Amino acid sequence: MSNSQDKTPAGRTSPWELAVGPEPKHWDDWVEYDAEAWPERKENHYRCIPTICFNCESGCGLLAFVDKSSGDIAKFEGNPLHPGSRGRLCAKGPATINQVNDTERILKPLKRKGPRGGGEWEEVSWEEAVADIGKRIGKALREERHDEIMYHVGRPGEDHFAMRMLQAWGVDAHNSHTNVCSASARLGYSLSFGADRPSPDYANAKFILLISAHLETGHYFNPHAQRIIEAKNGGARIAVVDTRLSNTSTHADRWISPWPGSEAAMLLSVARLLLTSGRVDKEFMERWTNWQDYLTAKDPGGPQTLDRYLELLAEEYVKYTPAYAMAECQIEEGTVEYLADRISEAGSEFTSHLWRSTAAGNLGGWQVARALLLLHSLTGSVGTKGGLNPNSWDKFVPKPSLAPPPHSRWNERLWPKEWPLAHYEMSFLLPHLLFLVIVQNLVQIVELLLLHVGEQKSRVHNQRQEHIV
């Protein structure tokens, strides 16, 4: 590959930074030699068009290299101007080309023909598909069957449009995977600091604690992983709490594998140790926690001071000794002390992330987020460089100025009455609830049939009686 405008930096054999794609000044006419024409130096000219990878939710910046002679996309590389991914991608980013060229890609809507499950499909036009689906939805709305409309999305990849549309229809129908993934952690974060997700400043952190948050192999991973590794190269320590030795764990200074569901006990033990050893950011606690309210409720006759509050807080967690955590969580001796030391050393530059299995996979898992935020409160590592922010501080989501009025219907298939405090729609129950609806309908049909048969019998009986008389 070549580009005559660039100069080769000293010590490099390539004329540009290989880690990222070309700079914008080359995007109108990027030149590369055709590898297949070698040894001939045949130039291919490309136009680089910025786009986004959506093979995961990170939305890293891509550059589509469009062949100027054919108009075809030849490949995808990272967009160096993208603020999150900064030109770097995981292997799935460049593999986006498969989605363009895949010969088995479905390009037109397919409509089932024959019985459900029969595997028979026919191609229809977009117009036909939209008209057909729209007609069914319209009919359900006109017949007041709002609960029969359901919108399921695996990973919501946009802000507002789908919700706005459902609101306009007046249906409560948004169903996603959130409740089996992040809902519990979100609840804990929301209750403690008002935003349902953390925004950790990994790049500037001195200690990073990841609890079932696989930021080097999963969630948001490329942009986060870059910054975690940056911090690590700068001397930050990393601890990963996970039942399994994940890829992320292999990059950590310490892998901690507690008994699943016991993580909150470990974190509270760390909190107790910080409190009893006086390693607390009193200034932060004084300003940002409601310690006066706590004292009024718990110890109205005692001294109304921060020290008294911290003393009572330590008493609150008195049972959470390192020995207790060892037994409860089945962790190695010294783990609680290790975490307390690293967290207090990092102070306001302690950051963390909790997501998925620890919170979502265990009863009461949402409390793990709250126990984790307690550690951040004790160390004053909220809203600091290298600390933890509420995500709403770092993410701007513009909302449309005009929105339809909120819908007035409650869909019990998403929000069953039995779980009045559910924080997200309970999609894992949906198949069971739909099954129940089918069973209820069948029971009704059978009852109607029996009623009908009974009526027929009694009519025949009455006719016979009349005949005998």
Whose structure tokens read 């990272």?
A: 78
Angstrom distance (rounded) from CA 147 to CA 408: 12
Residues 48-77 that bind ligand SF4 (CB under 6 A): 53, 55-56, 58-60
Part of the chain binding ligand SF4 (CB under 6 A), chosen from 89-97, 109-117, 353-361, 448-456? 89-97
Closest residue by Cα to residue 46 from 3, 9, 99, 88 = 3
Site string for ligand SF4, 229-268 (x = CB under 6 A): ----------------------------------------
Kindly provide the b/e burial profile for residues 238-277, where b requires at least 16 CB atoms within 10 angstroms of the residue's own CB.
bbbbbbeebebbebbebbbbbebbbbbbbbbbbbbbbbbe
Closest CB to ligand SF4 among 113 and 395? 395
Q: Please state the closest distance from residue 307 (CB atom) to ligand SF4, in A.
A: 47
Which residues are 153's β-sheet partners? 176
Q: Are 137 and 159 in contact (CB under 8 A)?
A: no
- Output 15 or 59, the one with its CB closest to ligand SF4: 59
The residues in 177-236 that bind ligand SF4, with binding defined as CB under 6 A, are 221-222
CB of 18 to ligand SF4, least distance (A): 17
CA-based nearest residue to 345, from 258, 270, 289, 402? 270
* Nearest distance from C-beta of residue 104 to ligand SF4, angstroms: 20
Closer residue to ligand SF4 in complex, CB, 179/222: 222
Cβ proximity to ligand SF4: between 56 and 141 the closer is 56
CB of 203 to ligand SF4, least distance (A): 17
**What is the Cα–Cα distance from 381 to 368, expressed in whole angstroms?**
17
CB of 355 to ligand SF4, least distance (A): 15
Could you say which of 20, 63, 64, 89 contacts ligand SF4 (CB under 6 A)?
89
Residue 278 CB, nearest distance to ligand SF4 (Å)?
A: 42
354 and 211 Cβ atoms separated by less than 8 Å: yes
Q: Which is nearer to ligand SF4, 75 or 111 (CB)?
A: 75
CB 59 → ligand SF4: shortest distance, Å? 6
Q: How many CB atoms lie within 10 A of CB 286?
A: 14
- Which residue among 92, 111, 164, 298 contacts ligand SF4 (CB under 6 A)? 92
Q: Does 90 bind ligand SF4 (CB under 6 A)?
A: yes
Which stretch of DSSP H or E encloses residue 452?
helix 430-468
**Distance in Å, CB of 46 to ligand SF4, minimum:** 20
Inter-residue contact 386 to 393 (CB < 8 Å): no
Output the smallest distance, CB 96 to ligand SF4, in A: 7
Measured CA to CA in angstroms, residue 138 lies from 135, 144, 168, 338, 458 at distances of 5, 10, 12, 61, 43
Only segment of 90-98, 147-155, 240-248, 271-279 that touches ligand SF4 (CB under 6 A): 90-98
Contact 60, 83 (CB under 8 A): no
Site string for ligand SF4, 366-395 (x = CB under 6 A): ------------------------------
Output DSSP code: residue 181. Answer: T
Q: Where are the beta strands (DSSP E) in 106-217?
A: 110-112, 121-123, 151-153, 174-176, 198-200, 207-211
Using the minimum distance from each CB to ligand SF4, give the nearer residue, 54 or 151.
Answer: 54
Helices (H) and strands (E) in the chain, counts: 16, 14
As measured in angstroms, the least distance from the Cβ of 77 to ligand SF4 is: 10
**Smaller CB distance to ligand SF4: residue 3 or 217?**
217
Sole residue written with tokens 């909790």: 354
Residues in touch with ligand SF4 (CB under 6 A): 53, 55-56, 58-60, 85, 89-90, 92-93, 221-222
